[in-house]
Amino acid sequence: MKHITIIIDKYKKQVEQIEQSNLRNLTVLNDGLILSIDTLNQLRKQLRSTDCFKNQEEEIHFFKVGKPFINSRIKFFSKVRRFISEKPTAGISKQIDYVSDMIDKLEKHKMRNLEFFQYTRHCNTSLDHIYFVRGNDKLDFPVDTSHYFTDPEFSTSHDNLAAQVISYDLLSNYYQLELKSLRKQNENIIIEEISPAILNGLSWTASKTDLVELIYALHSSRAIRNGQAEISKIAEVCATLFDINLNNFYKTYAEIKNREKDTTKFLDLLKISLEKRIDLDNAK
């Protein structure tokens, strides 16, 4: 087990550097894929050359943790490489739909193996001696049988599924970051498109504190997206719309809360101003 541990530890250091670099770059993804495949082959040869496991506990740990850590990266790098190659190159909306579809497919795959996902997520160990020991294939429920056709000496009934659980997390995180980035790009495009027609000349002439008071009132009243919109997003939109710096608006809100009187001073002014206007209009 010592030689196996050395190989895995070396791999973890190398793959960490790759994962922290640009994972939108196909060359980087290829490097990660080649490294992962080469490392898995090293482990395969090491396992065949010597009796690596002193006991069943070591065998379980390797096929439950060690091998899936590397195999999950093979799945991750190869799927991200395909994802980038097939992603639409034109139209942010189409790209958003594409990424959303990939997330849905990932979730459906998870649901097909939900029982094992839950077993892994809950750190269950009751079936480890069946799932992660070689030769235990006589199970009365569906399992991954690909190892029959690859290398039964280097596989168990569930080590590939364990790798899929890890790759699910890696891919899910990757897709969610991509989706967040695309949505932000889309918002910026929309803002740029409407800026010439609408935003020019709409500078906020009341105080910054007044605007923060209004933002918190809108959020508290659940007037925007039934209260599901993040207050930071509302503040960002208002800052762009009214060309005002709202940095550290949380501190401004704290100052509003600490007022000794007239906590809702600006909102009260709005109410009074509107009532006066209504009265004047009705008097005409």
Task: Tell me the per-residue pLDDT of 236-274, one tens digit each, with 9 for 90 and over.
Answer: 888 888 888 888 888 899 999 988 888 899 999 999 999
At 177-233, the pLDDT tens digits run: 999 888 888 776 655 555 555 556 778 899 999 999 999 999 999 999 888 888 888
Residues 6+ away with beta carbon under 8 Å from 85: 26
What integer is the mean pLDDT of 78-98?
90
Lowest-pLDDT range of 81-90, 133-142, 183-192, 257-266: 133-142
pLDDT of residue 142: 47
Per the prediction, the chain carries an average pLDDT of 87
pLDDT at 143 over 90: no
Both 215 and 167 in one domain: the answer is no
pLDDT of residue 161: 94
In three-state form (DSSP H/G/I as H, E/B as E, the rest C), the secondary structure along 70-138 is HHHHHHHHHHHHHHHHHCCCCCHHHHHHHHHHHHHHHHHHHHHCHHHHHHHHCCCCCCHHHHCCCCCCC
- Residue 251 belongs to what domain range? 201-283
Residue 107 lies in a domain: no
Residues 131 and 205 in one domain: no
Domain count, the chain: 2
pLDDT digits (tens, 9 = 90+) for 25-62: 999 999 999 999 999 999 999 888 777 788 999 999 99
Query: Do both 137 and 66 map to the same domain?
Result: yes
Residue 196 maps to a domain: no
> Residue 199: what pLDDT?
59
> Structure pTM?
0.64
Q: Could you tell me if 14 and 34 are in contact, meaning their C-beta atoms sit under 8 angstroms apart?
A: no
90 falls in which pLDDT band (50, 70, 90)?
A: confident
Q: List, as own/partner pairs, every contact residues 111-115 make where C-beta atoms lie below 8 angstroms and the sequence separation is at least 24, other chains included.
A: 113/161, 113/164, 113/165
Examine residue 206 and state whether it is found in any structural domain, yes or no.
yes
* Whether 32 contacts 73, CB under 8 Å: yes
* Residue 91: alpha-carbon gap to chain centroid: 22
- Same domain for 77 and 6: yes
Is residue 50 domain-resident? yes
B/e letters for 137-162, b = 16+ CB within 10 Å, e = fewer, are: eeeeeebbeebeeeeeebbbbbbbbb
HSE-CB at 278 with a 13 A cutoff on CA atoms is 6
Q: Classify residue 98: in a domain, yes or no.
A: no
